[in-house]
Structure 1
Amino acid sequence: MTAAIKLTISALIVVLFALSLLFVAIRTLGMATFVVTGGSMEPTIHKGSLVIDEPVSADTLRLGDIITFDHYDQTTTHRVVGIEGSASGPMFSTKGDANQVTDPEPLAFPGRVGLVKLAVPGLGYAVAWMQYIWRLGATLIAAIIFFSCAAMVFFRKDPKAAPVRSAKLSTLKLVPVRMTTAQGAEAQRIWAEHERWLRQAALATARAA
């Protein structure tokens, strides 16, 4: 491994560590981060920027504030260009700096809304890449653990099988067969008759020849 590659790897590790500390600090302060994926806020906020939001009450918003909000399941960062009162509370008109018209409808924020405190150009790309690396690493680690456990379960041997088998074999005993005198005499008589039959058969075969 060359010195340049070692230096690059060391720099990446330092960057990842610094970003991790940054996110921990941001979360500790109660703030949130978002990656800007569009160019509607150009040139104020560039595409690929990382915005840091502070959750605030909607009553504290003023004209010109840049906020991050969810609308139609989409997270948007736009500027407040109009505030109107209503029976349910203030209604906010928003618009991207690069857009020619305001957003289609005014919005109400009954809870808290993210007020953009800082936008760091280009850092959003680094954060997206880091999240991809973390997800990939977590997926690989989970796959390795899963297949390792599956292999251990599939190939493991039952330690109780061999002792049980040997225990059964060790209980087998040879029992000697004992014959009485009468049984022995009967066996000898049967064997003698068998020998006599064999001799007679041999003589008959010789005469026939």
Structure 2
Amino acid sequence: MRKVISVIGNSLFVLLILLGVLSLYTLITSDQNQAKPPSLFGRSLLIVLTGSMEPSISPGDVVVVKQSTFNQINENDVITYRNGADFVTHRVTEVAKDESGSFFKTKGDANNTEDETKIRSEHLTGKVEWVLPKVGSIAEFLISPIGLSLMFFIVLAIIFSDKLFKRNKKIINEFEGRRVENKIIVKFIGIIINCYSYFWDSCLFF
């Protein structure tokens, strides 16, 4: 039982650490003041703030954006691009050309009209590879004062529970040891009594 609880506690502890690291990384990469979001293994994590891509992508989701070149993007792909001070994640509706070269026309799935901005190679961040539902909301909560306090108390509870189980195990082992000692003493006394009875009966017989 203790082993099962210990495994659960250790798993929760590792999960909290991973969530904390993921939350911090997601918030850093979602910084709108950066020209290009930081990437790890060619991928960036960005928190979705609006509902322009619903129902496929909702506010609070995290999109995993793979760095891509202009030629790697096709019509109907969902891309993330830089538009002024913001990162925008919309779907490519058309690959078009004008006198300045090729560009993408984009549109949010929930919007009625296409975006006015022509998305060229220099605006492109990459192609959305995965969507992690509500991970952004969880990340923002974990970094908040309430979330940090909750993680702190959970870690304390795991540590305290482990120490408590170790202490109880020690007490149980000591108790079991005393029971074994008592059984040995009782058996020893029983042997002595049996020997004495046998000797007494023999004396009476003679």
8 A contact 2:22–2:139 mirrored in 1: no
Note closer, same or farther for the CA distance 1:35–1:111 as it changes in structure 2 (3 Å cut). closer
Alignment match, 1:15: 15
**RCO higher in structure (CA 8 A, sep ≥6):** 2
Q: Distance in 2 between matches of 1:111 and 1:40?
A: 19
Alignment of 1:97-176 (within 5 A): 97-110=109-122, 112-132=124-144
8 A contact 1:58–1:111 mirrored in 2: no
Alignment of 1:28-43 (within 5 A): 28-43=40-55
Note closer, same or farther for the CA distance 1:110–1:88 as it changes in structure 2 (3 Å cut). farther
RMSD, aligned CA: 3.3
Note closer, same or farther for the CA distance 1:59–1:87 as it changes in structure 2 (3 Å cut). farther
The aligned length equals: 129
Q: Report the identity percentage.
A: 29
Describe the superposition over 1:24-63 as per-residue Cα deviations: whole angstroms up to 9, x where unpaired: 9x95412100000111100111211010000110121100
Structure 1 stretches lacking a partner, 5+ long: 1-8, 138-209
Higher alpha-carbon Rg:
1
8 A contact 1:51–1:117 mirrored in 2: yes
Note closer, same or farther for the CA distance 1:61–1:18 as it changes in structure 2 (3 Å cut). same
Note closer, same or farther for the CA distance 1:42–1:112 as it changes in structure 2 (3 Å cut). closer
Structure 2 stretches lacking a partner, 5+ long: 1-8, 27-37, 150-206
Q: TM-score with structure 2 length normalisation?
A: 0.53
